[in-house]
Amino acid sequence: MVEDLNPFEIAKKQFDTAADLLKLDPDLRDILKTPKRQLIVSIPVRMDNGHIKVFEGYRVQHNIARGPAKGGIRYHPGVTLDEVKALASWMTWKCATVNIPYGGGKGGVICNPKELSKSELERLTRRYTSEIFPIIGPEIDIPAPDVYTDAQTMAWIMDTYSMTKGSTVLGVVTGKPVGLGGSLGRNTATARGCEYVIKEACKVKRLAVKNCQVVVQGFGNAGSYAAEFLQKDGAKIIALSDSKGGIYSKRGIDTAAATEHKKKTGALMELKGTTVISNQELLELKCDILVPAALENQITTENVARIKAKIIAEAANGPTTPGADRLLFEKGIVVVPDILANAGGVTVSYFEWAQDLQGYFWDESEVNNALERVMVRAFKEVYETSVKHRIDLRTGAYVLAVGRVMEATQMRGLFP
């Protein structure tokens, strides 16, 4: 039987597993499973050659029972509405897992940013912002960076929104440049949060991080910093990869050298002292810690039998399918799920939003210390839930998160 890799179908299955354990009322189950709002927009953009090209974009708000929607915007040729709906729902459960007062949202534009100039990206971003303007705002829905978007993208969104409102609105997005109300520590927050929960997972498996061999798939923001932080903790990074392929070294890879090589050549491959491997081969290497930090559906029923890691920490969203999840649990592999492992980004986004609203900004040590408290507490709550119900960490996180959103929904009631 071929496994269904539709991301929204996967998200619904993950929800249903927790809903079954919670014995959720069918009516409430339908409310929590269904996205609250889905906006599809056309984005006409004048290209550098003078012609106009129309792109398609989305913004989905899954649930706002516990606070305004929160979630990134990705620019990618493979963006689909179902993917954005899945990511929005994962954001709902992610925010509830770490217990911050947000619901889930997500946005995306179908485009290949590598083929667009900076001025074309700016015009695309500003027009997309104007199209989704009616449903975003610091008290409604707060976008952030995601795949192929960054602090500059957020600055354009903040400026476009502010010019339309007629006043500067810092809190409309997070992940902004520090000079425009961004938070110190935000750029590394996803990776740092992942590092904190990996340390907690190592305690569960009775491993010392300094003795661990680590494999990281994906060398973007989350993957590169996660590798750097784990190397500083004493771990040996034996393999890394980006969209063009992977590199392996039994002796270990210096992350600083890898970062510099990628800046110079545009890829990790051919770094001195390493051998080239495919992304698939990288996933199947024998290691202590595997960090999938790329895209969805990387560990499936097709390759799960060949996964040899002791701990998998999902820095990416949705890298493991439900079928693979079950088999990994049976093999005794600890999977720290995406809605916990990569929640550091949204947690520091919450800190940034709070700083913007207060007009009072923290130093980086305050940010990192607060992040560590949130992530360690969340891991312990998820782990205790999983032990109580004799379930894997992902289901434990969902039981915890769905329970919190369910409680908020029931207390608020149904309007009108």
DSSP 202-219: HHHHT--GGG-EEEEE--
Q: In this structure, are residues 338 and 317 in contact, taking their beta carbons and an 8 Å threshold?
A: yes
Using alpha carbons only, give the angle 179, 180, 181 rounded to the nearest 5 degrees: 100
Which 8-state DSSP code applies to residue 364? H
Are 128 and 43 within 8 A, CB to CB?
Answer: yes
The rounded distance, in Å, linking the Cα atoms of 92 and 214 is 30
Dist CA 313 CA 288 (whole Å) = 11
Q: Which of 85, 106, 236, 262 is catalytic?
A: 106
Verify whether residue 106 is a known catalytic residue: yes
Tokens linked to 155: 């600055």
Cα-based angle 193, 196, 248 (whole degrees, multiple of 5): 90
Give the ranges where 253-363 is alpha helix by DSSP (H).
255-265, 279-283, 322-330, 338-341, 344-358
CB proximity list for 242: less than 8 A, separation 6 or greater: 218, 219, 220, 262, 267, 268
State the Cα–Cα distance between residues 323 and 404, nearest whole angstrom: 26
| Inter-axis angle of helices 344-358 and 189-205, nearest 10 | 140
Asked whether 279 and 247 are in contact (CB, 8 A), the reply is no
Nearest to 142 by CA among 71, 224, 53, 84: 71
Q: Which residues does the annotation mark as catalytic? A: 106
